[in-house]
Amino acid sequence: MTDLDIRVLTDDQYRAAHTLFRGTLHHGPANDERWASVVSSYEPGRAWGAFAGDELVGTVMSFPSAIAVPGGAVLPMAAVSRVGVRADWTRRGALTALQRAQLRSFLESGQVVSTLRATEGVIYGRYGYGVATRFRHVRVRRAGAKSRLPVAGRVRLLEREAAVPVVQAVYERVAPRRPGTAARWQGWWQVNVVQPPEDENLKFAVASGPDGDDGFLVYKVTPGSHEAGNERPAVLTVLDLWTATPRAWADLWAFTLGVDLVDEIDAVGRPVDEPLDWLLVDRRAARVVSEVDETWLRVVDVEAALSARAYRSGDPVVIGVRDRVLPENEGAYRITAEGAVRTGEEPDFVVDVEVLGAAYLGDVTFRSLALAGRFTPTSREAVDRADALFAVDEAPWCGTYF
């Protein structure tokens, strides 16, 4: 490993870091207009750089957020993003050094967990991240697609300026109800909703019921073509859809299905348990294109994280945890229906911290993880006790890309 200087970036280094990050994804630098919007999403102390001498060769940053966990608690969370190492410096220890420094800073500043979205699926397990939520890409063939439920409330289109405060208020009311959802920081709203790229041409629909606004839809339409030899469908892309009530959910989907001059509806990043096909008269009009990992979760403070979430009724289990990056987390934790505490007892089984991260929100069972060889159980009965305690009623989902 080449010696590198890992340090917090100053505000005059943000643009260089952003350009480096975009370069790792094979994009050019943000233009001045776009940068004027993006720069507001950088916060002091949260962006790191790897320097070879005076040369920036890698970067990582995080946004201040929070995550809802089973039982209703909301925990401090670092939303990790803009991770990149320059192509001529990969596989030389830069990312490992950045990750270790960043995770240490999270622990010292009281972040209970950190999460990220992974461009590749083989990188982040080595730093303790496990896949904790998944999402679906759903495609609807609009011809013949009809909702079984007519619009019961009112759905209205709003211009961006009027829509932004409504959308933010609905999201802040709805999101904490579901495990896995994340608090959206102001920089996220700025970049994605207040001032997105001009070519997005976002549309905003708001659903209202007896108690006021209780759902919103953000979408865009990519026009199609009927030109011979250049035929392509007109596609409506659902970018963001959140509702406080089942009626608002059905209303917004009925509205979406009714938008004219659209051939297909693409909804990326939807919950794995969203019953859209059951809402349609013809269930075959909707199909799941893919189901992939969404939230990669890293438990930064194991004791705080385990003690914060709720558990179902069941017999106690003692889980041992290994953590190569943050050894403070290593030890055994006794988990009961009443909560979790660190203990000196012998563990029923031992897992790496990335396995704990995967199971933490309840998306995957310990039994499945053991079957896949992610840890070695001492007994089937101990794993069953853990699964009974960690079980959840609703699939966790984040629904916020960063």
Residue ranges per domain, the chain? 5-131, 136-293, 302-390
Judged by DSSP in three states, 166 sits in helix
Across 275-282, average pLDDT: 97
Burial class (CB in 10 A: 0-12, 13-18, 19+), 53: exposed
Contact at 8 Å (CB) between 290 and 137? Answer: yes
* Predicted local distance difference test score (pLDDT) of residue 198: 77
Residues 6+ apart with CB under 8 A from 16: 56
pLDDT range class, residue 2, cuts 50, 70, 90: low
Please state, for a pLDDT cut of 90, what percent of the chain lies above it.
95
**DSSP β-bridge partners for residue 321:** 331, 351
Q: In this model, does residue 63 exceed pLDDT 80?
A: yes
Answer CATH for 5-131 from 3.30.1490.20, 3.30.70.890, 3.40.630.30, 3.30.43.10: 3.40.630.30
* CA torsion, ordered 336, 339, 344, 347, to nearest 10 deg: 40
Residues 6+ apart with CB under 8 A from 246: none
Contact at 8 Å (CB) between 46 and 64? Answer: yes
Across 267-284, average pLDDT: 97
The chain-wide mean pLDDT, for the chain, equals 96
Adjacency order of strands within the sheet including 134-141: 154-158, 203-209, 212-222, 235-243, 264-270, 134-141, 286-293
Q: In this model, does residue 227 exceed pLDDT 90?
A: no
Instruction: Please check whether the two domains, 5-131 and 302-390, share a CATH topology.
Output: no
Closest CA to 242 of 313, 193, 190, 296: 193
Q: In this model, does residue 260 exceed pLDDT 80?
A: yes
Closest CA to 114 of 295, 320, 326: 295
Over residues 166-216, the pLDDT tens digits come to 999 999 999 999 999 999 999 999 999 998 887 789 999 999 999 899 999
* pTM for this model (two decimals): 0.95
* Predicted local distance difference test score (pLDDT) of residue 353: 98
Distance CA 279, CA 286 (A): 10
Answer CATH for 136-293 from 3.90.1150.10, 3.30.1490.100, 3.30.160.340, 3.40.630.30: 3.40.630.30
Across 2-8, average pLDDT: 91
pLDDT range class, residue 165, cuts 50, 70, 90: very high
Across 292-312, average pLDDT: 98
Distance CA 104, CA 111 (A): 10
Contact at 8 Å (CB) between 103 and 300? Answer: yes
* Predicted local distance difference test score (pLDDT) of residue 226: 79
Q: 116-125, 193-202, 286-295, 374-383: which range is least confident on average?
A: 193-202
Across 281-299, average pLDDT: 97
Which residue is associated with the tokens 């055994």? 332
| Residue 33 φ/ψ, nearest 5 degrees | -65, -45
Q: In this model, does residue 25 exceed pLDDT 90?
A: yes
* Predicted local distance difference test score (pLDDT) of residue 254: 97
Q: In this model, does residue 28 exceed pLDDT 90?
A: yes
* Predicted local distance difference test score (pLDDT) of residue 230: 80
Contact at 8 Å (CB) between 116 and 129? Answer: yes
Adjacency order of strands within the sheet including 331-336: 339-343, 331-336, 317-322, 349-352
Distance CA 301, CA 309 (A): 13
pLDDT range class, residue 229, cuts 50, 70, 90: confident
Distance CA 265, CA 8 (A): 43
Q: How far is CA 242 from the centre of its chain?
A: 15
Over residues 91-103, the pLDDT tens digits come to 999 999 999 999 9
Q: In this model, does residue 1 exceed pLDDT 80?
A: no
Distance CA 104, CA 84 (A): 19
The CATH classification number of 302-390 equals: 3.30.1050.10
Judged by DSSP in three states, 109 sits in helix
Over residues 380-402, the pLDDT tens digits come to 999 999 999 999 999 999 999 99
